Amino acid sequence: LGEEGVTDPQFWNAFFPGYGPINYKQHLPHWGFSGYSLFAIGIGSLLLGYYNLVKWNRERRRLQIEDMETRISVSLSASRNLEEEAKIMKDVPGWKVGESIFHTDGWVPLTSDELYYLRPLSELHSQKFGLQWYV
């Protein structure tokens, strides 16, 4: 017998009389999305998530810059009390009351370390690395 004889249903009916051929193949109906459409849905949801992430990071950055500018403007606009300065610094040689305490004519931008020196360390880390933790 060749291989064709083994797969022939009449061959098996000779050994097992009374039994018909066994249908071993499953014919299930097709349902659900195809593989390509599932892949496209996955890529689309990934891109939408990254779009929302970038949009939120830009908004957070804008709010942080606004917060920093507000803090700087408040610290720069604070008026100096000249009488109290004169009392405190009267023993310092070469001190002139009301003179600028900075040794430059231009604006020197403050670093985040200087701005957050008296704040909790977690706020400094959030300022420095906050947008990198999400990506």
User: Which range (8-17, 43-52, 73-82, 119-128) has the least confidence?
Assistant: 73-82
- CA gap 84, 86 in Å, rounded: 5
pLDDT score for 59? 93
pLDDT score for 40? 98
Across residues 65-69, what is the average pLDDT? 85
DSSP 8-state class, residue 108: -
Across residues 70-98, what is the average pLDDT? 76
Q: Which residues contact 102 (CB under 8 A, 6 or more apart)?
A: 108
* Cβ atoms of 1 and 11 closer than 8 Å: yes
Measured between alpha carbons, how far is residue 52 from residues 61, 114, 119 in Å?
14, 32, 30
pTM of the shown model: 0.39
Across residues 81-92, what is the average pLDDT? 82
Most confident of 54-68, 69-83, 111-125: 54-68
Checking if the pLDDT of 24 tops 80, the result is: no
- CA gap 61, 131 in Å, rounded: 8
Checking if the pLDDT of 45 tops 80, the result is: yes
Q: What does the block give as tokens for 71?
A: 């803090």
Closest C-alpha to 134, from 61, 62, 65: 61
